[in-house]
Amino acid sequence: MIFVDTNVLIDVSSNDPAWADWSQEQLDLAARNEDLAINEIVYAELSVGYTTPDQVDRLLISMNIAVDPTPKRALFLAGKAFQHYRRAGGTRTGVLADFFIGAHAVIADAALITRDARRYRIYFPGIDLVTPIVN
């Protein structure tokens, strides 16, 4: 299984002029060998751009992406990583979603396709990332 970060889905669904091609290429490459998945956090973030759950569900079906429920171990790991972030001086409060996404990928032993690798690399050493640049 390969997890997909929200930014990649938004790139493709909005046809982002800077990132849609890269993001679609990564999804296509990943889907050749693995199942693609997101968790509830990515679903919630993605839903901001839609008016009904059916619209989000249709998009995910068209992209052949499943929603994988977040296991408790990943929730616990996300909390601990966020705690580490705050103790290290992190002040942003809107970053907890990234910790849920990263922890889920780690617990599932899955790669994560993302354009925002910096926080994942710092707080989840060894996570397998597919990213266009090293942040």
For 64: left if phi > 0, alpha if psi spans -120 to 50, otherwise beta; the answer is: left
Any domain includes 135: no
Any domain includes 42: yes
pLDDT in tens, 7-40: 999 999 999 999 999 999 999 999 999 999 999 9
Backbone angles phi, psi at 94, to 5 degrees: -90, 25
Any domain includes 114: yes
Q: Can you give the residue range of the structural domain that contains 96?
A: 2-130
Q: Is 84 helix (H, G, I), strand (E, B) or coil?
A: helix
The pLDDT value given to residue 47: 97
Any domain includes 123: yes
Any domain includes 113: yes
The pLDDT value given to residue 90: 79
Q: What is the dihedral of CA 77, 78, 79, 80, to 10 degrees?
A: 50
The pLDDT value given to residue 135: 43
Where b means 16+ CB within 10 Å and e means fewer, 49-64 reads: eeeeeeebeebbeebe
- Bridge pairing between strands 111-113 and 129-130: parallel
Any domain includes 124: yes
For the chain, the domain total comes to: 1
- CATH code, 59: 3.40.50.1010
Band of residue 95 on the pLDDT scale cut at 50, 70, 90 = confident
pTM: 0.91
